[in-house]
Structure 1
Amino acid sequence: MTGGASAFLKEAVKRCRAPEPLEIGVRELLWHWGYAIRSDAVVQEITSDLASHGLTTVPVLADAGRTVEIVPAPEAAAPEPPAAVSEVDDEAPVRVSLRVRELPSATRGVTSVDIDGTLAHAETTMLSDDFSQLAVLQDGLLRGAITWDSIRLAKARGKSDLRSALDPLPEVLKCDDDLLKQASRIWAGGFAFVEDEDRKLVGIVTLADLAEQFVGLANPFVLLSEIEQRLRRLVRKICTVEEMRRKARYPNKTSGADDLMFGDYKKIFEDTTLFQRCGWADIDHQVFVDKLDRVRVIRNDVMHFSPEGVRDEHTRALSAFIKFIKGLDGAP
């Protein structure tokens, strides 16, 4: 445990005695332990350290979005001893859920107009702020939405008041909804409002928000896919199937390079004899293996699909490795 974690835990124990729970951002919590990524091992370590001080998180750290509350652990819950850290399983099952609240716009607030206001006021607000829709409230509760389409339809009917232009059934999501499962609803409506558990309107998610999030998430997956394809090309050139099996974690299931796991590539290229078959006279063996291992670590982080898991530095490192290995491979 780091000194920062120890100091945080002591302070957390004091603050949790107060009536109000201690709320903290997940990124800040990880920082106290010296981490930037919420991997399974990191979650296990932090959860165990909290439990040893009679604390826990709500929700559980593995499923939390951007913030958690640090609260006293239930009396009946005895702290579990830290589990031994085993070798990272490159192909272990990973959590691939993404909550609606993990989109920044989902909890950033939403511009609204009152149902008794004028249509001119709503149109002017939309034009000046470059919005395609507004929430319409009555006594603080969501009554519907105003969109450019709903305005055009109202005017086509000869109506010019806000109530006539109201879309009474916009899509509404909860912060804890699974984003992947709700993506079709956002796509169909073009947007969806977001409410918290108390039905308070807290944000809006649009197609642009959805596209930006998934482009950011998908890019590392695309880069990793190309890296694996190029590694397989190289392995086929330098290894027989029998040699692949001797390096593979599951030799009985390995009938070629397509059956190898990512960790198996590292074992193959760590072998000096096999590495020399690549014919890279001026490439330092250890530097290549270290770079490959860095890709393996990034792959583990990316596959956890957490908000902290995909960072710009990951994308840059993967892009650099692709350029490097593409030049060595010599194939387009």
Structure 2
Amino acid sequence: MSGAASEFLKEAAERCQATPPVEIGVRELLGHWGHAVRSDAVVADVTADLAAHGLTTVPPLADAGRTVEIVPIPVDTEPESPSAEPEVDDEAPVRVSLRVRELPSATGGVTSVALDDTLAQAETTMLSDDFSQLAVLQDGRLRGAVTWDSIRLARARGSGDLRSAVDPLPEVLKCDDDLLRHAPRIYTAGFAFVEDENRTLVGIVTLADLAQQFVGLANPFVLLSEIEQRLRRLVRRICDLAEMRAKARYPNKTDGADDLMFGDYKKIFEDETLFLRCGWADIDHDVFVEKLDRVRVIRNDVMHFSPEGVRDEHTRTLNAFIKFIKGLDGGS
């Protein structure tokens, strides 16, 4: 455990004794341990250190959105004894769900008008802020939405007040709703408001937010797919089936390079005899394996759909490795 983590845990334990809970961003919490992205190993490490100081997180760190509360472990709860060294399974089942709260706009606040405001106030706000919709509130509660479509329909009916332009049944999601499951609702309506567990309006999710999230998720998958395709082609060139099976985690299920796990590629290229068959006279074996292992770690972070997302430096690393291996593979 780093000195920063020890100091944080000591301070958190003292604060929890005085005025629990301690709220903290997940990214900030991981930073005390020197991590930027959540993985199974990181979660196990942080959770174990918290438990050793009588602390835990609500919700559990593995399932949390952008923030957690650090609280004392209930006295009637027996914490599990963590192993000294968490075992990491590169091909373990991964979390393939995203919570609505993981979109920044979902908890980023909402511009609103009051139910008793004028339609001109709503239109001016939408025009000046370049919004397509506004929340309509009364006594702090959501009463509907006003959109350009609802305004046009109200005017077509001969009405010119805000109340007549309010859509009373806009889509509303909870922070902890599964984003992918509810994406069709957002797509159909064009947007959805977001409420917390107390029914307080905290944000809005639009089609643009979904598109941005999709690009952020899809791009690393595309890059990793190309890397795996090129690794398979290299493996076919330097290994026969028996040698592949000798390195494979599941040899009985391996009938070719397409059946290999990503960790199997690393085992193959760690073998200097096999590596030399690549014919790369001026490529250092240890450096190549190190770069490949870095890609493996990024791949695991991507497959966990980490709420912290794939950082720009990760995308640069993947792009650089593609350029590197593409050149080694003949540039095609």
Q: Deviations over 1:200-231 (max 9, x none)?
A: 11110101011111211111111101100111
2:326 aligned partner: 326
More divergent stretch after superposition (3-12 vs 84-93): 84-93
**Residues 205-244 of structure 1: matches in 2 within 5 Å?**
205-244=205-244
SS state of the match for residue 282, structure 2?
A: coil
Residue range with higher mean Cα deviation, 318-327 or 49-58: 49-58
Q: Structure 2: which amino acid aligns with 1:300?
A: N
Q: Distance in 2 between matches of 1:82 and 1:29?
A: 19
Corresponding residue of 2:290: 290
8 Å Cα contact 2:5/2:32 also seen in 1: yes
Unaligned runs of 5+ in 1: none
**2:280 aligns to what SS in structure 1?**
coil
Q: Whole-Å Cα distance in 2 between the matches of residues 101 and 191 of structure 1?
A: 15
Matched residues in 2 for 1:86 and 1:274: separation?
30
Q: Please list, as runs of the form range in 1=range in 2, the aligned pairs for 1:74-223 lying within 5 A after superposition.
A: 74-85=74-85, 88-223=88-223
Determine helix, strand or coil for the equivalent of 2:124: helix
User: Distance between the aligned counterparts of 1:137 and 1:113, measured in 2?
Assistant: 6
Shift of 1:18: 2.5
Contact in 2 for aligned 1:109/1:202 (Cα 8 Å): yes
For the structure 1 residues 304 and 316, does the alpha-carbon distance in structure 2 shift closer, same or farther, using more than 3 Å as the test? same
How many residue pairs get matched? 332
SS in 1 for 2:146: strand
Other-structure match for 2:18: 18
RMSD: 1.3
Equivalence map 1:243-322=2 (5 Å) = 243-322=243-322
User: What is the SS of the residue equivalent to 1:17?
Assistant: helix
TM-superposed CA distance for 1:172, in Å, is 0.2
Task: Give the Cα–Cα distance (whole angstroms) in 2 for the partners of residues 86 and 163 of structure 1.
Answer: 58
1:27 maps to which residue? 27
TM-score, with length taken from structure 2? 0.96
SS of corresponding position for 1:89: coil
Query: What displacement does 1:2 show?
Result: 1.5
Same amino acid, percent of matched pairs? 82
Matches of 1:86 and 1:123, distance apart in 2: 56
What letter matches 2:208 in structure 1?
Answer: A
Q: CA deviation at 1:159?
A: 1.6
List per-residue Cα deviations over 1:155-195 (Å, max 9, x = no partner). Answer: 12222111111111110000111111111111111000000
Could you list the runs of 5+ residues in structure 2 that have no partner in the other structure?
none
Please tell me the residue identity of whatever aligns with 2:4.
G
CA distance in structure 2 between the partners assigned to 1:37 and 1:228 by the alignment: 22
Q: Which moved more, 1:314-323 or 1:303-312?
A: 303-312
**Corresponding residue number in structure 2 for 1:42:** 42
**Secondary structure, in 3 states, of the residue corresponding to 2:145?**
strand
Structure 1 position 149, deviation (Å):
0.8
Q: Aligned with 1:123: secondary structure? A: helix
Displaced runs of 4 or more, over 3 A = none
Q: How far apart, in 2, do the equivalents of 1:312 and 1:98 lie?
A: 20
| Partner-residue secondary structure (3-state), 1:16 | helix
Give the TM-score normalised by the residue count of structure 1. 0.96
- Answer whether contact 2:126 2:133 (CA < 8 A) is retained: yes
C-alpha distance in structure 1 between counterparts of 2:46 and 2:240, whole Å: 44
CA contact under 8 A between 1:38 and 1:309: conserved in structure 2?
no
Alpha-carbon distance between aligned partners in 2 of 1:249 and 1:284, rounded to the nearest angstrom:
26
Mapping of residues 62-77 of structure 1, within 5 Å: 62-77=62-77
Cα shift at 1:281: 2.1
Does 159-168 or 82-91 show the bigger shift? 82-91
- The worse-fitting range, judged by mean Cα deviation, of 52-61 and 274-283 is 274-283
CA apart distance, 1:289:
1.4
C-alpha distance in 2 between matches for 1:33 and 1:268: 32
Query: d(CA) in 2 for partners of 1:36 and 1:160?
Result: 52
How far off is 1:277 after superposition? 2.0
Query: Do the aligned partners of 1:52 and 1:79 also contact (CA within 8 Å) in 2?
Result: no
Give yes or no for contact 1:266–1:292 (8 Å, CA) kept in 2.
yes
